């Protein structure tokens, strides 16, 4: 069951040519959740291929770089003849303001839009397989709330060999045991589920803070998180500025991730003063993380979050760059993130080349782009059936 996170906007209040305002799309088995919606989000969704089929939109606070994309997105999906309802969630007191954004200029959407105010410490959305919980954050001059998407526990692993040893024949009885029901065999003996099914396995945990100072509630809700997306607007030299404006430094975000035991930390809301080079923020965070993999995602970066019992995270890059990246913090050089080359796809049918990653297990491998554009690397991986690339350094 895939959980796919697309970073639509990773910049601060002032957008740059490289980073748009805040927006993150989470896709889980076909259902799409949007966290914050800065201006231009609908264009980012088109650019990075998430589609507009958003079922729930979670707003952390009402500053413009987190909500001004709502009118455009609502009107765009309305023009596309949407009929399904859209649910919006925001901090206490946000309902009239969100309604005004939806109806800006006298517009009235032709599909239902509901708005729910989320009090910190409550469940915003409850589904059979997961919950989205609100928690208190600390930002400047506004009520704000962060969100934790927490999956339900999964069934334990079924021990097929043990079941066969106990005389259970392959077939429907396996399914009954895995569902937690005892089965009676032909000889009258009874096999209990506990004999062949392991303990329940935890689901995944995704945490999004929005703009915030470091808080204890973030640590509480990000405990053992598979991905924590935290405000890291400034570097350590501007700690006073961060405190004054209600933001965090990269160092502070890393300390929160360490204390929470988060597996991965995505540093976002990057100030425009780092438009030329944000690597200082990344290095600062990585110097303070022990077991946590800290990184700054680019706009358009996509991360597939694995289950806790499968530690290999899979990146999918939709940009024009080739990267060398760590997989899950267990590589020999986990701080390596070198840009190798830049090129544009030469195949006339495709405006952009598509990319995919070779999953890294305990060592670094290289990004390679999808050969459907007609291009493949010169340094071909094992079982790569296509020819060499004439447009890049491979």
> pLDDT confidence of 308, banded at 50, 70, 90?
confident
**Could you give the CA distance from residue 240 to residue 229 in angstroms, rounded to a whole number?**
22
Domain boundaries in the chain?
Answer: 3-154+201-311, 160-196
CB count, 10 Å around CB of 222? 28
Which residues are within 8 A (CB) of 66 and not within 5 positions of it... i.e. 6 or more apart?
21, 22, 36, 37, 38, 59, 60, 210, 211
Does pLDDT of 75 surpass 70?
yes
pLDDT for 316: 58
More confident residue, 258 or 338: 258
Residue 390 half-sphere exposure, CB side, CA atoms within 13 Å?
5
Q: Which two tokens stand for residue 279?
A: 């690597």
* pLDDT one-digit tens code per residue, 268-281: 999 999 998 899 99
Task: Look at residues 239, 287, 237, 273 and name the one whose alpha carbon lies nearest to residue 11.
Answer: 273
Per-residue H/E/C for 201-233: ECCCEEEECCCCCCCHHHHHHCCCCCEEEEECC
SS3 358: coil
pLDDT for 180: 84
Task: Look at residues 316, 393, 308 and name the one whose alpha carbon lies nearest to residue 359.
Answer: 316
Dihedral angle computed from the Cα positions of residues 168, 169, 174 and 176, in that order, rounded to the nearest 10 degrees = -70
CB 158 within 8 A of CB 174: yes
Mean pLDDT for all residues in the chain: 81
Distance of CA 363 to the CA centre of its chain: 23
* pLDDT one-digit tens code per residue, 120-155: 999 999 999 999 999 999 999 899 999 999 999 888
Does pLDDT of 318 surpass 50?
no
Starting at the edge strand found earlier in the chain, the sheet holding 293-295 runs 123-126, 130-136, 145-151, 205-208, 227-231, 264-268, 293-295
65 is catalytic: yes
**Could you give the CA distance from residue 258 to residue 78 in angstroms, rounded to a whole number?**
43
**Could you give the CA distance from residue 314 to residue 308 in angstroms, rounded to a whole number?**
13
The pTM score is: 0.76
Q: What number is the average pLDDT over the span 347-354? A: 29
Q: Which two tokens stand for residue 266?
A: 């995505």
CB 203 within 8 A of CB 153: yes
CB 300 within 8 A of CB 318: yes
Does pLDDT of 302 surpass 60?
yes
Does pLDDT of 324 surpass 50?
no
Residue in the structure block whose two tokens are 């949007």: 34
**Euclidean distance between the first and final Cα of the chain, in Å?**
33
Fold classification of 3-154+201-311 (topology level): Metallo-beta-lactamase; Chain A (3.60.15)
pLDDT for 154: 85
Does pLDDT of 361 surpass 90?
no
> pLDDT confidence of 373, banded at 50, 70, 90?
very low
Which DSSP helix (H) or strand (E) runs through 9?
A: strand 3-9
Does pLDDT of 339 surpass 80?
no
CA-angle at 302, arms to 291 and 368, nearest 5°: 95
Q: What number is the average pLDDT over the span 64-74? A: 96
Backbone angles phi, psi at 270, to 5 degrees: -75, 125
Query: Of the residues 36, 53, 65, 186, which is catalytic?
Result: 65
Task: Look at residues 77, 7, 82, 80 and name the one whose alpha carbon lies nearest to residue 42.
Answer: 77
pLDDT for 315: 57
Which residues are within 8 A (CB) of 79 and not within 5 positions of it... i.e. 6 or more apart?
none
Task: Look at residues 219, 223, 245 and name the one whose alpha carbon lies nearest to residue 234.
Answer: 245
């Amino acid at each position: 069951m895939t959980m796919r996170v697309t970073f639509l906007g990773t910049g601060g209040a002032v957008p740059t040519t490289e980073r748009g305002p805040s927006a993150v799309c989470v896709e889980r088995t076909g259902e799409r959740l949007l966290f914050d919606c800065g201006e231009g989000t609908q264009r980012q969704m088109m650019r990075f291929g998430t589609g507009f089929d958003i079922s729930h939109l979670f707003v952390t606070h009402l500053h413009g770089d987190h909500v001004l994309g709502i009118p455009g997105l609502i009107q765009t999906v309305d023009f596309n003849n949407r009929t399904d309802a859209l649910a919006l969630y925001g901090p206490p007191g946000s309902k009239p303001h969100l309604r005004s954004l939806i109806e800006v200029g006298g517009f009235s959407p032709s599909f239902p839009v509901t708005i729910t105010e989320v009090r910190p410490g409550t469940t915003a959305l409850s589904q059979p397989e997961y919950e989205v919980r609100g928690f208190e954050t600390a930002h400047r001059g506004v009520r704000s709330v962060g969100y934790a998407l927490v999956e339900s526990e999964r069934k334990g692993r079924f021990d097929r060999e043990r079941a066969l040893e106990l005389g259970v024949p392959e077939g429907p009885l396996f399914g009954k045991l895995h569902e937690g029901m005892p089965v009676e065999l032909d000889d009258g003996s009874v096999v209990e589920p506990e004999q062949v099914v392991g303990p329940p396995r935890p689901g995944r945990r995704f945490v999004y803070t929005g703009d915030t100072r470091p808080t204890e509630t973030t640590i509480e809700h990000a405990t053992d998180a598979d991905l924590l997306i935290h405000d890291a607007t400034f570097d350590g030299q501007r700690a006073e500025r961060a405190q004054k404006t209600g933001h965090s430094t990269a160092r502070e975000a890393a300390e929160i991730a360490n204390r929470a035991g988060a597996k991965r930390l995505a540093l976002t809301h990057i100030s425009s003063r780092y438009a030329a080079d944000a690597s200082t923020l990344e290095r600062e965070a990585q110097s303070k993380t022990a077991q946590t993999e800290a990184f700054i995602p680019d706009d358009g970066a996509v991360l597939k979050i694995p289950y806790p019992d499968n530690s290999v995270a899979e990146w999918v890059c939709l940009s024009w760059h080739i990267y060398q990246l760590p997989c899950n913090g267990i590589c020999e050089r986990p701080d390596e993130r070198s840009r190798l080359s830049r090129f544009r796809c030469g195949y006339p049918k495709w405006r952009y080349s598509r990319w995919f990653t070779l999953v890294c297990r305990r060592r670094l491998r290289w990004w390679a782009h999808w050969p459907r554009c007609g291009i493949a690397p010169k340094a071909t991986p094992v079982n790569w059936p296509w020819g060499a690339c004439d447009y890049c350094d491979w």
